[in-house]
Amino acid sequence: MINAGAFRRRLLNWYDGNKRDLPWRESTDFYRVWISEIMLQQTRVEAVIPYFHRFLRRFPSLEALAGAPEADVLTAWSGLGYYSRARNLHKAAKTVVAAGLPASYDEIRALPGIGPYTAAAIASIVFGEAHAAVDGNVVRVVSRLTNGSGEASKEAARLLDTRRPGDFNQAMMELGATVCGPRTPRCEDCPVLALCAGRAAGRERELPVKTAKPAARDVSLDLLILMKKNAVFLIRRDLSEKRLAGFYELPELKHFPEIKTEPAGSFRHRIVNDRFLVRIWRAAARGKSASKGYWLTAEQLTEIPLTTIARKALHSVHNLSGGAALDY
């Protein structure tokens, strides 16, 4: 069994001297911590940082977020993916403004879109409550420390430093993200190497043992960028759809068989187990070739929620806005 006291000292000493300078660590304000934890769900830190800054500029307070139309929130979130996070964030903001700030793990857990991990992270960082936050990084660290024996959540709770629970949880996540990586752990830089049973057994690259994932599916997608003067044609997903409801996207080429097109590039994009090969086609509108949709300028594109695939496609095409690639 790992010596909990020695582990805490080594981990927190390392964290104090090596933690990354991240914008949400500038304070323990509930709003900032909450926004960051929701954004960081299944998303890399590097990808979150610019969104975090832009989101707070657009919605600098809980009241601003709660009072905004959902479309504005989705627009600010556009490109981060997993859009149910944004919708739940908006709902939770309304709840908090109406009922007051949560003051405990249980009250945070009751908010829309908050699971055990996120509630533990926020409660420990903001309120100093002793709840172990166990995400994929922490599971990997604990699994290697124990050489795969025992249950990761229970061991994380046993190791938790109750005097500095917020720092401890962030240190565990930091260790998993920067040193104890999934494919190439940098064991020589690990502050708790001497306590790691997985490394001693030579199994650090095998752990944690993963269950088989469903096979990936290859999907071909041909999208049309239809232009009229300085506007592009987009369609909007129905509000009743389960995925990306209300988001704007480019139409598929197959719906415009009569239009003469030219190839405009291609790219790959992955959504969970779907691997998309996206081919982009371009054409100029003639007459009433597109009626059930919206003609939007580059400036208007900044004000609507766009699917990530549409955003990538539009960024790759020039001459939509003064001869330069779109920047929004």
What integer is the mean pLDDT of 17-39? 97
Domains of the chain listed by start with CATH number: 4-200 (1.10.340.30), 217-315 (3.90.79.10)
Q: Which amino acid is at 202?
A: G
Q: 272-310: per-residue pLDDT in tens? A: 889 999 999 999 987 655 568 999 999 999 999 999 999
Catalytic residues: 37
pTM of the model: 0.80
- What average pLDDT does range 254-282 have in this prediction? 93
Q: What are 182's two structure tokens?
A: 């999934």
Q: What is the pLDDT of residues 68-106, one digit of tens each?
A: 999 999 999 998 989 999 999 999 999 999 999 999 999
8 Å CB contact between 90 and 72: no
Percent of residues, the chain, with pLDDT higher than 90: 83
Average of per-residue pLDDT across 163-185: 96
**Between the CA of residue 52 and those of 7, 107, 115, 238, what are the distances in Å?**
32, 24, 20, 28
